[in-house]
Amino acid sequence: MLVVALAFAVHHFWTGRPRTVAVPPVAAALPAAEAPAAVRTPAAAGPRAPSPVPGAKPVLVVDVAGKVRTPGLRRLPAGSRVADAVAAAGGALPGTDTSALNLARLLADGEQIIVGRSAPPPVGGPPGAAGASGPVSLNAATAEQLDALPGVGPVLARHIIDYRGRHGGFTSVEQLRDVNGIGDRRFSDLEPLVTP
C-alpha cells in the first residue's frame, strides 16, 4: 500500500510541476469573422491608414516636376538628396539643363523640385544684398535662396516652402502675409524682392 501511495505522490508531483507552454496567437487560430474585435488584424478590421512601424525610417514626399521622364509625387527615405528625387522620377529628359539645381542638396518633406525650367537666378552676396540678381520666385526658390532674403532665416524659409506646398503655390505676393512669421514690416521689406 505504501508503494502505491508513493507512486501516486511521484506521479502527482511530476504532472503538477510548472512548464513553459507556447500560446498560439488568438487571431491566427480563429477565422477573421469569429475573432473578437480586440484581436482582429488590421486587414480583418477594414482598411486603415498605415501606422508607423517602430524603427522604420521616416519617409519624405516630394513633387518632382518639369522635364523628367515621370513627373509626380515621389516617396523617398529621409536623408535623400535632389539627385535621388530626379532619379526616382526617371531622370531628366535628354538635353535638359540641370545646372540650376543643386543636386547634392538634402530634401525636405513637401517640397517641389522643378527640373529644366528657368528658375530664379541664385541670390548672390550677403543677406542684405538679396535681390541684386533679380526678384526671387516664391514658387521656385530653394530654402537657401529664401534664407538669403533680408529678415528670412532657415525657419521662415521653411514656413514659406510649407505654405506653397499646402496651398499649391503662390498666386500673388500678397499671400506672403498669410505665412506664419511674416508681419507688415517684414512683408514691406520682402515685397519688392519677390515674385509669385
| Domains contained in the chain, number | 2
If asked whether residues 137 and 99 sit together in one domain, one would say no
Choose one of 67, 86, 115: the last residue of a domain: 115
Q: Supply the pLDDT for residue 23.
A: 63
What is the residue-averaged pLDDT of the chain? Answer: 75
Q: Supply the pLDDT for residue 86.
A: 94
Q: Is residue 53 part of a domain?
A: no
Q: Which residues pair with 163 in a beta bridge?
A: none
Q: What's the pTM?
A: 0.37
Q: Is residue 48 part of a domain?
A: no
Q: Which DSSP state fits 105?
A: S
Q: Is residue 51 part of a domain?
A: no
Q: Supply the pLDDT for residue 88.
A: 95
Q: Is residue 106 part of a domain?
A: yes
d(CA 67, CA 152): 30
If asked whether residues 162 and 189 sit together in one domain, one would say yes
Among 192, 121, 130, CA closest to 157: 130
Q: What percent of the chain has pLDDT over 90?
A: 13
Q: Is residue 93 part of a domain?
A: yes
Q: Which domain holds residue 83?
A: 59-115
Q: Is residue 8 part of a domain?
A: no
If asked whether residues 131 and 153 sit together in one domain, one would say yes
User: 3-state class of 115 per DSSP?
Assistant: strand
If asked whether residues 107 and 135 sit together in one domain, one would say no
Count CB-CB contacts under 10 A for residue 161: 21
CA torsion sign for 191, 194, 195, 196 is negative
If asked whether residues 147 and 109 sit together in one domain, one would say no
Q: DSSP E strands: which ranges in the chain?
A: 59-66, 72-77, 112-115, 136-137, 194-195
If asked whether residues 69 and 96 sit together in one domain, one would say yes
Q: Is residue 45 part of a domain?
A: no
pLDDT higher for 159 or 36? Answer: 159
d(CA 13, CA 33): 42
Q: What is the CATH number of the domain that holds 179?
A: 1.10.150.320
If asked whether residues 134 and 172 sit together in one domain, one would say yes
Above 60 in pLDDT, residue 166? yes
Q: Supply the pLDDT for residue 51.
A: 45
Q: Is residue 26 part of a domain?
A: no
Choose one of 115, 138, 161: the last residue of a domain: 115
Count CB-CB contacts under 10 A for residue 160: 24
Above 90 in pLDDT, residue 151? no
d(CA 61, CA 109): 5
Above 70 in pLDDT, residue 21? no
pLDDT of 114-147, one tens digit each? 888 654 444 444 333 344 456 888 888 888 888 8
Count CB-CB contacts under 10 A for residue 147: 19
